[in-house]
């Protein structure tokens, strides 16, 4: 009886250890797969900084505190942030996330920002310059 108990206990421990080892939440601090049980906010943030090549912006983005990563926008103006760019975003693991036409418009001291895919606006945001960067809060839109 005691030997059978030890075997069962050992098997339970082994199953638990394997479960934890292969669990996606243990493999990475960021899960790309959307979880329906998690309440996500339709709020994002991106910080653009000027690249060494004129017309290039480097991005550091976050969406709903679930997904994040780097990005690069190219084809913009030589000076300032306002203009038209092509932007590619990536997840932390280096996989491609999204690609958009990015439109940044200066409105006084602030900026209106739009992310466009296939001629449709997929997200809109507002931003302001902070030091050497452009900080933008945004949200996905249906129109």
Taking only the tens place, the pLDDT of each residue in 77-101 is 999 999 999 999 999 999 999 999 9
By CB neighbour count within 10 A (0-12 exposed, 13-18 middle, 19+ buried), where does 63 fall? buried
Q: Tell me the pTM.
A: 0.72
Map tokens 């992310």 to a residue.
115
Q: Which domain holds residue 110?
A: 44-140
By CB neighbour count within 10 A (0-12 exposed, 13-18 middle, 19+ buried), where does 26 fall? exposed
**Count of domains for the chain:** 1
Distance CA 93, CA 82 (A): 30
**pLDDT value for 102:** 98
Domain assignment present for 3: no
Domain assignment present for 111: yes
Closest CA to 127 of 108, 99, 100: 108
């Amino acid at each position: 009886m005691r030997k059978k108990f030890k075997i069962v206990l050992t098997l339970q421990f082994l199953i638990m250890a394997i479960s934890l080892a292969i669990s996606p939440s243990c493999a990475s601090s960021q899960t790309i797969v959307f979880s329906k049980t998690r309440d996500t906010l339709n709020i994002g943030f991106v910080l653009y900084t000027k690249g060494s090549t004129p017309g290039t912006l480097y991005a550091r983005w976050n969406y709903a505190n679930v997904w994040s990563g780097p990005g690069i926008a190219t084809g913009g103006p030589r000076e300032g942030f306002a203009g038209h760019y092509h932007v590619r975003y990536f997840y932390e693991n280096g996989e491609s996330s999204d690609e958009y036409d990015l439109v940044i418009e200066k409105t006084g001291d602030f900026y209106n920002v739009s992310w466009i895919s296939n001629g449709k606006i997929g997200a809109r945001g507002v931003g302001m310059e902070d030091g050497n960067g452009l900080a933008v809060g945004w949200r996905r839109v249906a129109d």
